[in-house]
Structure 1
Amino acid sequence: MELKSEVRTSLNKIDFINRYRELYMKYTFGSNERFKTYDNNLVIAIFKDLGYSVSFDKKENFFKFVEEFSTYKFQVNISVKVGHAEIIWVVWKNGELQTGIPWILLKSLMGNTDQNIKYPIFRNYEDLKMILKESFLMYEDFKRELLSIYNNEISEL
């Protein structure tokens, strides 16, 4: 599996690897400290407080945020089961999948083989809120960079 060049460029421009590492290092706790039971409604309220309207996919057990811009569709999937946040950015361009893998695999495809960067762990709702806040700041930066590349492609035609 290989990353599309626009995705790789956008990830590099937002310093994805270092920001992911910093987020993980800030939220690294022992498995005995993980917040294993949470209320989906309270998690949805956290997203809302951060300015994002999400839905919960019961079958797949993750929260989903979707945005569409012309022929581009962006989706953020976040699973918070077992006290860690697994984040997946999914992007379609003209209905064609551009990326759709978890951050932990994105970093590997970016050439980072550091096995010490894993999922951020949360102990409570406040930790989760801070993880989500930072991950959405990263998402907004990624989206802006990727749309800029796509818009430049269009203007060059």
Structure 2
Amino acid sequence: MENVNPSSLQGDRKFLEILEKMGNIVIYEKNGVSIQGKGPSALNVDMEDCPDQVMTMAVLAAFAKGVTKISGVRSLRVKETERVIALKNELGKMGIRTKDTHDTLTIYGGLPNAAEIDTYNDHRMAMAFAVAGMHLPGIVICHPEVVNKTFPTFWEVLGSL
């Protein structure tokens, strides 16, 4: 990934550390980062400081063997959509079992199935489940144009990876 500052103070920077905890190798380069790994490992993680990345983490956790517990999710309940419920619904379509409390989302990872994913008019839903589409043929993202809100070239950039 280009133009990622490894010294950034943004909360989203923490996501790279979480990817390392999932068993990936994050290589910090002059103009960005490279991520290598065999696949995600389950973990317990507090994501209160990077709530915008919870959805992507939940999708990755669907592919991890074991149980991933994400805490710090309460702010997702008051976004464009009730994101915790949206995640549960769409992961459920993929055959992934989940459980939630007010501030946690637990994902029982394994072998997800292809599904048609509703975006709930939420750009982050489309982007998060696009990760599943990169690894699982047959994932269909309904209303992919919702990414135009924040990242109009998202699909082109994703296609270039």
TM range (shorter): under 0.3
Which protein is richer in helix relative to its size? 1
Structure with more relative contact order (C-alpha pairs < 8 Å, separation 6 or more): 1
Q: TM-score normalised to the size of structure 1? A: 0.25
